[in-house]
Structure 1
């Protein structure tokens, strides 16, 4: 248990020096394979991953405790999980799978500690007459309602 605490402390100390980076996940396997997933306000470079890895590895004694370490960035295919990740994606299209299994796609407009706000754009039939009308509406979604949220990748 002390080994894990040491890793967490070293990682947190590194992140204190790099306020633009933040932790998404820290995993320990039974065989002490450590996986660190980072994200950043301006993305994560290979150098950022190397710096984080060195901050941990150079301060641990492999003779005392053998481990493997993998530091990576959260990829575009990874779901958004914390408000800071949502914040950095304001203005992008995201697809949200809700707990009731419904899906909503829209532009991420606002983020706070309790919810996100999407701008939904769609066409609906006119109330009177034939044809359709463009609709733009805002929808607030609480984090507790979100099962999974992904950035929509457009080419």
Structure 2
């Protein structure tokens, strides 16, 4: 029987050849289905997914025959699952749902360990003025405490 740890070890062996990184491995025992998600700062090529799939088939042989194997990239609009995804999107627009369920959008400014900073705009009334103006505000979050963070695809 194939374990998640065995898959992780083999995937990381293949990933060591380039700048790809592992996002997730899902094993659904009921469906005998294995889903492996990888990512790269410049995106994932279908050829690389096929190459990883062939690599796993060679290494696992007949053991893999009982499973449906799916290798792909982390979805563009899907929530981030690993810290490297945050690093890859510094400078990009993101959407954060905080621990209370509040949704915010802004620019991912920086990442430090498991913390990240997003610059968002808030309306504030400057001293001595009557009308509010939008100002940039930096908000710091812990990756472990937000409900989700995802890349916001914008069309300009």
Contact (CA 8 Å) 1:83, 1:112: kept in 2 or not?
no
- The DSSP-based 3-state class of the residue aligned with 1:60 is helix
Alignment size in residue pairs:
153
Structure 2: gaps of 5 or more residues: none
- Per-residue CA deviation, residues 28-77 of structure 1 (Å, 9 max, x unaligned), is 12143111011112211111111111110122222785222100101112
> Equivalent residue for 2:25?
26
> Equivalent residue for 1:100?
100
Which structure 1 residue ranges, 4+ long, deviate > 3 Å from structure 2? none
> Equivalent residue for 1:37?
37
1:37–1:102 Cα change, 3 Å: same
* Distance (Å, rounded) in 2 between the aligned partners of 1:7 and 1:27: 10
* Distance (Å, rounded) in 2 between the aligned partners of 1:44 and 1:106: 25
Task: Quote the offset at 1:11 in angstroms.
Answer: 1.3
> Equivalent residue for 1:7?
7
- The DSSP-based 3-state class of the residue aligned with 1:144 is coil
Which deviates more, 57-66 or 26-35? 57-66
Contact (CA 8 Å) 1:118, 1:138: kept in 2 or not?
yes
**Please, what TM-score do these two structures have when normalized by structure 2?**
0.88
> Equivalent residue for 1:67?
67
> Equivalent residue for 2:89?
89
* RMSD (Å), alpha carbons: 1.9
Structure 1: gaps of 5 or more residues: none
> Equivalent residue for 1:137?
137
**Please, what TM-score do these two structures have when normalized by structure 1?**
0.88
* Distance (Å, rounded) in 2 between the aligned partners of 1:113 and 1:86: 10
